Amino acid sequence: MNATQLSATEKTAILMLALGEDIAAEIFRHMEANDVKKVGAALSRVGRVNQDTMDIVLNEFHQILKSNEPDLFKGGFGFARNALEKAFGNSDFGQDIIRDLAHANPTMPAVELADAQTLYRVIANEHPQTIALVLAHAGPAKAGSIVKLLPEALKVEVIQRVTRMDKVAPEIIEEINDMIRDEVERMGFSSRKIGGPEKAAAILNAMDDTRNDILDRLDERDPDLSEDIRSHMFTFADLSKLDNRSMQGLFKAVDRSVWELALRDANQELLDLVFSNLSSRAADNLKDDMDARGPQKLSDVRDAQKTIVAKALAMAESGEIEVGMDEQKVV
Q: Which pLDDT tens digit goes with each residue over 261-297?
A: 999 989 999 999 999 999 999 999 999 999 888 888 8
Task: Give the pLDDT mean for 306-310.
Answer: 88
Is residue 222 included in any domain, yes or no? Answer: no
Is residue 141 included in any domain, yes or no? Answer: yes
Alpha helices in the chain (DSSP H): 8-19, 21-29, 33-46, 51-60, 77-88, 92-102, 109-113, 116-123, 128-137, 140-149, 152-164, 170-187, 197-205, 210-221, 223-233, 244-253, 256-262, 268-276, 280-293, 298-317
Is residue 221 included in any domain, yes or no? Answer: no
Residues 242 and 322 both lie in one domain: yes
The pLDDT of residue 327:
42
Residues 7 and 93 both lie in one domain: yes
pLDDT at 104 over 60: no
Which of 80, 102, 124 terminates a domain? The answer is: 102
In angstroms, rounded to a whole number, what is the distance separating the alpha carbons of residues 133 and 163?
A: 10
Q: Which of 196, 79, 74, 211 is nearest to 136 (CA)?
A: 196
Q: How confident is the model at residue 91 (pLDDT cuts 50, 70, 90)?
A: low
Residues 250 and 315 both lie in one domain: yes
Which of 58, 75, 102 terminates a domain? The answer is: 102
Residues 201 and 136 both lie in one domain: yes
Q: How confident is the model at residue 68 (pLDDT cuts 50, 70, 90)?
A: very low
C-beta of residue 235 within 8 angstroms of C-beta of residue 306: no
CATH number of the domain enclosing 193: 1.10.220.30
Residues 315 and 271 both lie in one domain: yes
Residues 82 and 117 both lie in one domain: no
Is residue 281 included in any domain, yes or no? Answer: yes
Which of 63-72, 115-124, 304-313 is the least confident region?
A: 63-72
The pLDDT of residue 42:
81
Residue 67, domain extent: 3-102
Q: What is the pTM of this model?
A: 0.42
Which of 31-45, 179-193, 256-270 is the least confident region?
A: 179-193
pLDDT at 170 over 80: no
Which of 6-10, 85-89, 109-113, 159-163 is the least confident region?
A: 85-89
pLDDT at 129 over 60: yes
Is residue 218 included in any domain, yes or no? Answer: no
Percent of the chain with pLDDT over 70: 77
Residues 66 and 158 both lie in one domain: no
Residue type, 215: L
Q: What does the angle CA 148 – CA 154 – CA 159 come to, to the nearest 5 degrees?
A: 75
pLDDT at 329 over 60: no
Which of 144, 178, 211 terminates a domain? The answer is: 211
Total structural domains within the chain? 3
Is residue 17 included in any domain, yes or no? Answer: yes
Give residue-wise pLDDT tens across range 34-65.
777 887 888 777 767 778 887 777 676 544 33
Q: Which of 182, 8, 173 is nearest to 77 (CA)?
A: 173
Residues 206 and 116 both lie in one domain: yes
Is residue 179 included in any domain, yes or no? Answer: yes
Residues 283 and 302 both lie in one domain: yes
Residues 184 and 116 both lie in one domain: yes
Quick one: three-class SS letters along 76-138?
CHHHHHHHHHHHHCCCHHHHHHHHHHHCCCCCCHHHHHCCHHHHHHHHCCCCHHHHHHHHHHC
Is residue 277 included in any domain, yes or no? Answer: yes
pLDDT at 300 over 80: yes
Residues 80 and 114 both lie in one domain: no
